[in-house]
Structure 1
Amino acid sequence: MRKGMTAVALAAVMAVTAACGGGGGSEPGRTDITVNIVPFTPNAVLFLGMEKGMFDKRGITVELQNAASPVPVVASLVAGQADFGFVTTPVLINANREGTPIKCVAPVDGQISPDRDASALVAAAGSGIDSLDDLSGKSVAVVQLASINLIGAKKMIEDAGATGTEYIAMPFPQMPQALSDGRVDAAVITSPYLETALAAGAVALAHPSSDLFPTGTVYCYAATAQYLAGNAEVAQGFHDAMQEAILYAKDHEDEALATLVEHLDLTPEQAKAQIIPTNYVPEINLDSIAAIQDLMAQQGSIPTTVNPADLVWRPGGGSS
């Protein structure tokens, strides 16, 4: 099982010439930053902050890059090809454990809501699977084999008594068709691709992230410790802009969803139907990061642990 970026992979990306790395913006007093994201619904809060000028008024111009999963996002951060990037908590833990210091700078949309989730563990239509204990010997697609989706699904499936489940790495956009074709029996899939799968008859079995980590931090926008040490003011501006965007989105969720038309190529109807799985609390939940790491250790996916407090950058500089 892949448990994160290997030392070899990190050495390779370190050799890549930095493409941005926090240089000055194209105008005096401004900074251009690149944010590498995995395109999915919760990024609507970032898009909203961009559209409402919350970064602009702090002298920051945001350029977006897309990645298939969080592991290549880490590679882009290390290589200097992006300044901030979307990572899940397990990837954050693994990167630091393997000697790549990256830190959460801001939540993506807040803390995950216990009442609504944009991701689900679903079974393929016509598979005959209607409960977690039916997944013995079945195949389950997850976005990568070091993901919050894998850790949560494995916990819930094993607690239900299922054994011999196979986990297959697959990008989110490919999952609905893979379910329809019978190439996988189930998948942990997120919006907007979840809605496509459900419309095709997939059956929701559980919501691992919100079921296991209510009010938790399961993903964040992170940066390398090296970048943060040299660009503290930019990091402060990014943090503050995201905090403002999260609080604004709480009362203007319709505006946040509307940004998905441009940024995720959804129709207005599709965008309006999306779920942003947040309680809109703009703080990193450090206890949940510790709980996720404990679960990773219990599952045997990591041989060593790190101090969760070292994984979060705090305004004013430094870790928590």
Structure 2
Amino acid sequence: MKVIGPAFALVAVLLASAGCGMFGSGDSPQPPPPERATLRVGVADPIDTAPLRIAAVAGKFRQAGLNIELVDLGTTDGVAKLSAGEVDVTFASDVSLFHAAAGGTALQMQGEAYTSSSNTIALVTLPGSDYAEPTAKKTPRIAVDNQGDICALTARSVLATAGVDPAKIRLQASPFSQMPQLLQAGQADAAVMVEPFITRAEKELGAQILVDGSSGATLDFPSSGYASTGAFAAANPRTLAAFRRVLTQAQLAAADPATVRDALPSFSDIDQTTAALISLGSYPTTLSATRLQRVADLMHSSGLIPNRLDVQAMLPAEDQQ
């Protein structure tokens, strides 16, 4: 019978210890990288997209393995650029996204961008206007940036709540920057403006708010979001999951209004004084089918889309709860 010596026993113990380190649980494996290194994201309204822009400049997406290429949409249709393959994810108003979805465009929501709050969207008049109450005119002429988008939906909703027949509201399209001239010329009774145009009109022209657009059925109303095509989402789930994680962190950071106000002048024509004065909404940190369904249902009841849209079906699988 062979006796194991002390030296041999020590070696055995060391090998056993090494084996635990080599084959034990150790560090968890790194998750697979995103399917693509670069993600082209269409951006527009600087206030709505502020958290995303701030995170991109700070390198937050790069830290998550994504090179974010921001594509300024200007006044072009983000959904059209998305469908044409010119961007991978686009920013747009929720109304615009749901209108496209109702028309057959397969979209997947990737995040909520912005939610309205007090006076972030409003019907505005100028001093001396004879339109001092929402019901003062039976057939009011209302300037909106787009007759089929969120400003038009808001105008019809708040005026109907006030007692105006929606069928008698006369909408006319005008860029936000030209709305003051329409009001001054008497070509519109009121204009639906968003920030920073509301604050600028108040500062420069003494404009007055006829009715807050964030009230009644549009109180704290979801305004805008980010979406990809359904096909892109199916082919790039890890890429978009990484995008959503960083966007969530960015939206959380924007809960401090100073973060947004301080950054706005760096990527927009909003000066520091105006940035300090504007009314700010909120930046959702989750995709909520219940919250977004409010938009789709109001669009349906207002006749903007013919059938009720199931928003939950447009969310990533992990958000379909």
Call closer, same or farther: CA 1:217–1:68 in 2, change over 3 Å: same
Once the two structures are overlaid, the 10-residue window that deviates more, 205-214 or 144-153, is 205-214
Partner of 2:19: none
1:126 to 125, 128, 136: 128
Call closer, same or farther: CA 1:125–1:61 in 2, change over 3 Å: farther
* Alpha-carbon separation, structure 2, partners of 1:264 and 1:85: 19
Question: What is the root-mean-square deviation in Å for CA atoms of aligned residues?
Answer: 2.5
* Alpha-carbon separation, structure 2, partners of 1:65 and 1:174: 25
Aligned runs of 1:139-178 on 2, under 5 Å? 139-163=141-165, 164-178=168-182
Is the contact made by 1:217 and 1:284 (CA closer than 8 Å) also made in structure 2?
no
- The alpha carbon displacement at 1:49 in A equals 1.4
Partner of 1:18: none
* Alignment deviations for residues 71-115 of structure 1 (CA, whole Å, 9 cap, x no partner): 711101100111222222222222111110112211214x444xx
Q: Which amino acid aligns with 1:145?
A: Q
Aligned runs of 1:1-320 on 2, under 5 Å? 31-68=37-74, 72-109=77-114, 111-113=115-117, 116-163=118-165, 164-199=168-203, 200-251=205-256, 253-278=257-282, 280-315=283-318
* Alpha-carbon separation, structure 2, partners of 1:276 and 1:59: 31
Is the contact made by 1:68 and 1:171 (CA closer than 8 Å) also made in structure 2?
no
Once the two structures are overlaid, the 10-residue window that deviates more, 118-127 or 226-235, is 118-127
- The alpha carbon displacement at 1:211 in A equals 4.2
Is the contact made by 1:213 and 1:288 (CA closer than 8 Å) also made in structure 2?
no
* Alpha-carbon separation, structure 2, partners of 1:168 and 1:285: 32
Asked which structure has the greater CA Rg, the reply is 2
- The alpha carbon displacement at 1:169 in A equals 2.0
- The alpha carbon displacement at 1:319 in A equals 5.5
Is the contact made by 2:36 and 2:236 (CA closer than 8 Å) also made in structure 1?
no
- The alpha carbon displacement at 1:171 in A equals 2.6
Residue identity over aligned pairs, in percent, reads 26
Is the contact made by 1:40 and 1:190 (CA closer than 8 Å) also made in structure 2?
no
Q: TM-score, normalised by structure 2?
A: 0.80
Call closer, same or farther: CA 1:125–1:299 in 2, change over 3 Å: same
Q: Which amino acid aligns with 1:300?
A: G
Q: Which amino acid aligns with 1:55?
A: F
* Alpha-carbon separation, structure 2, partners of 1:35 and 1:126: 44
- The alpha carbon displacement at 1:158 in A equals 2.2
Structure 1: unaligned runs, 5 residues or longer: 1-27
Structure 2: unaligned runs, 5 residues or longer: 1-33
Is the contact made by 1:209 and 1:218 (CA closer than 8 Å) also made in structure 2?
no
Is the contact made by 1:41 and 1:118 (CA closer than 8 Å) also made in structure 2?
no
Call closer, same or farther: CA 1:273–1:34 in 2, change over 3 Å: farther
Q: Which amino acid aligns with 1:292?
A: V
Q: The residue matched to 1:259 in structure 2 has which SS?
A: helix
Once the two structures are overlaid, the 10-residue window that deviates more, 293-302 or 255-264, is 293-302
Call closer, same or farther: CA 1:211–1:112 in 2, change over 3 Å: same
Q: Which amino acid aligns with 2:42?
A: N
- The alpha carbon displacement at 1:262 in A equals 2.0
Q: The residue matched to 2:305 in structure 1 has which SS?
A: coil
Q: Which amino acid aligns with 2:291?
A: S
Paired residue total: 285
Q: TM-score, normalised by structure 1?
A: 0.80
* Alpha-carbon separation, structure 1, partners of 2:163 and 2:215: 20
Q: The residue matched to 1:134 in structure 2 has which SS?
A: coil
Is the contact made by 2:99 and 2:304 (CA closer than 8 Å) also made in structure 1?
no
Q: Which amino acid aligns with 1:143?
A: D
Is the contact made by 1:102 and 1:222 (CA closer than 8 Å) also made in structure 2?
yes
- The alpha carbon displacement at 1:264 in A equals 1.0
Once the two structures are overlaid, the 10-residue window that deviates more, 46-55 or 204-213, is 204-213
* Alpha-carbon separation, structure 2, partners of 1:197 and 1:249: 26
Call closer, same or farther: CA 1:209–1:77 in 2, change over 3 Å: farther
* Alpha-carbon separation, structure 1, partners of 2:235 and 2:130: 55
Call closer, same or farther: CA 1:281–1:235 in 2, change over 3 Å: same
* Alpha-carbon separation, structure 2, partners of 1:188 and 1:57: 40
Q: The residue matched to 1:189 in structure 2 has which SS?
A: strand
